Amino acid sequence: MRILVIEDDPETLNYVSDRLSEIGHDVTRAASGREGLFLAGGGSFDLLVVDRMLPAMDGIGIVATLRAARVETPVLFLTTLGEVGHRVAGLTAGADDYLAKPFAFAELAARVEALGRRSRSLTDTMALRVGDLELDRGARSVRRAGQPIELLTREFQVLEFLMHHAGQVVTRTMLLESVWDLHFDPRTNVVDNYVVRLRAKIDEGRSTELIHTVRGVGFMIRAPE
């Protein structure tokens, strides 16, 4: 994925860029808002990782300018100790996701992956499919190998999000944000609990497991190879 990182703090810039390169992305660095805007204006990137607070031209200014120029490259904001109000402002300006510093790199990687996939092509289909697992959004029904599986609302929402991002790591915070609409860490195993329940309903007694735990990061659903 071609990623442009716009960040004025050289240490964070190097850390983020190096780590993203390590996991196989093609990273371009911009140390100022102006430079970043100039590069992003070309529109040849799959994703922009933008520091929310930049001298001279801040993240919101960059996103607003890009969106006004019809550059629809997805944007992930990085911010210091995220305040909810700031997050709202960032998302209103046209950013697609928001991550508060300090963050675990795995969290950033998962979100980058999720956004990148979205930019490539994600037609909002009514039916999601992973291996022999099918989820029908309209009928709110789930089948595995043709057999219906009964899910509680929350379980369905968690599964839907996982399947939406099939093949990608989904972190606990991503699930908390999108399924529970919470932007703080309740410090409980609530997400794991739901995944455990889903696993019991979907994978137990089957020859292939679809739901996987990615240690220390989150979960992933993927079709067997």
Residues binding other proteins (CB under 8 A): 81, 83-85, 102, 154, 180-190, 192-193
Cis preceding-peptide flag for 102 (omega within 30 of 0)? yes
In the bound state with other proteins, the residue whose beta carbon lies nearer, of 138 and 216, is 216
Can you count the helices (H) and strands (E) in the chain?
8, 12
97: three-class secondary structure by DSSP? strand
Query: Smallest Cα–Cα separation from 46: which of 139, 121, 152?
Result: 121
CB nearer to other proteins: give 28 or 157.
157
Rounded to the nearest whole angstrom, what is the least distance from the CB of residue 84 to other proteins in the complex? Answer: 7
Shortest reach from residue 186's CB to other proteins, in Å: 5
Q: Which residue's CB is nearer to other proteins, number 84 or number 126?
A: 84
Smallest separation (angstroms) from other proteins to the CB of 114: 22
Structure tokens that stand for 39 in this block:
């590069």
Shortest Å, Cβ 200 to other proteins = 15
For residues 210 and 202, is the Cβ–Cβ distance under 8 A? yes
Least distance between other proteins and beta carbon 179 (Å): 11
CB of 45 or CB of 156, closer to other proteins: 156
Minimum distance of other proteins from residue 190's CB (angstroms): 5
The distance from CA 160 to its chain's CA centroid, rounded to whole angstroms, is: 14
β-strands 133-136, 147-149 pairing: unpaired
Q: What is the 3-state secondary structure (H, E, C) of 110-149?
A: HHHHHHHHHHHCCCCCCEEEECCEEEECCCCEEEECCEEE
Sheet of 97-101, strands arranged across = 26-30, 2-6, 47-51, 75-80, 97-101
Q: Which is nearer to other proteins, 125 or 188 (CB)?
A: 188
Q: Which is nearer to other proteins, 102 or 205 (CB)?
A: 102
